[in-house]
Structure formats: C-alpha cells, structure tokens
C-alpha cells in the first residue's frame, strides 16, 4: 500500500511539468474573433524563460464562459534537470476551454521583465 501511494505521488510530481500529449487544443494564433462550441479547447504556445524575465500572462473577462484548463511545458534546455542558470527555458502551452454559451475575452501578454513585448486579444462567442 505504501509503495502504491508513493508511486502515485511520484507520478503526479514527475508529470506536472512534462508535455501532455493527450490534451490537444485548437491553436490560437493572431488576435481576432473566435466562434466556439461548448467543450472546445484552445491552445496558446510560446517560449518562456522566467529566470531571465520572459513570461506569459493571461486575463479572462468571464471565466464561466472561457476558463484556463492547464499548462504543459517542454524543456528547451539540456540542463533542465539541474538548477543551472538558464535551465528553466521552456516551450509552454496554455489550454483554455469553452465552458458554456456566451461571450468572453481572453487577453494574452508576452512580457519581458514586466514590459509587454506582444499582446493577443481573442473575442470568443461560444454557442
């Protein structure tokens, strides 16, 4: 019993930051209007390097309509298993799900040390 519990805990922690190939999303690219159906999942992928200051942040106007589902990461550094400088560079994919009918706006910002480098605005209509 103890081994099963430890294995379960290890599995959870070992997969938290690994790429999840089971979850697919409709890629979000250029800003714009998005028509969606309830349960549609959308993905946004961008390189992140938090220790240097490159981060993705998002804001959702109505989380009852569109909500954050999960984030998966792929390490881009061969040093990712160490704590060496630069080892936290990843290709991050954010997943958002259409939860119910209505309208919502998703704003995604790519920042470098707090300064907006890129901004994407998606206006969702979920039917």
Q: What pLDDT score was predicted for residue 87?
A: 73
Q: Calculate the CA dihedral of residues 26, 29, 33, 36 and round it to 10 degrees.
A: 0
Q: What pLDDT score was predicted for residue 19?
A: 47
Q: What pLDDT score was predicted for residue 83?
A: 65
- Specify the CATH number for the domain of residue 90: 2.60.40.2020
Of 110, 109, 106, 111, residue with least CA distance to 126: 106
Q: What does the block give as tokens for 29? A: 């690219």
Domain span including residue 85? 2-126
Look at the chain and report how many structural domains it folds into. Answer: 1
Q: What pLDDT score was predicted for residue 97?
A: 98
Measured from the Cβ of residue 56, the count of other Cβ atoms closer than 10 Å reads 20
Of 109, 127, 116, 113, residue with least CA distance to 31: 109
Stretches in the chain below the pLDDT threshold 70: 1-22, 77-86
């Amino acid at each position: 019993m103890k081994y099963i519990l430890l294995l379960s805990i290890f599995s959870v922690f070992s997969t938290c930051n690994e790429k999840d190939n089971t979850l697919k999303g409709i890629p979000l690219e250029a800003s714009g209007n998005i028509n969606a159906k309830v349960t549609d999942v959308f993905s946004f992928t961008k390189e992140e390097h938090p220790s240097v200051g490159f981060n993705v942040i998002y804001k959702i106007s109505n989380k009852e309509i569109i909500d954050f589902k999960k984030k998966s990461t792929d390490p881009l550094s061969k040093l990712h298993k160490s704590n060496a400088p630069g080892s936290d560079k990843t290709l991050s994919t954010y997943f958002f799900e259409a939860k119910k009918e209505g309208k919502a706006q998703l704003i995604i910002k790519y920042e470098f040390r707090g300064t907006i480098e890129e901004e994407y605005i998606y206006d969702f209509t979920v039917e």
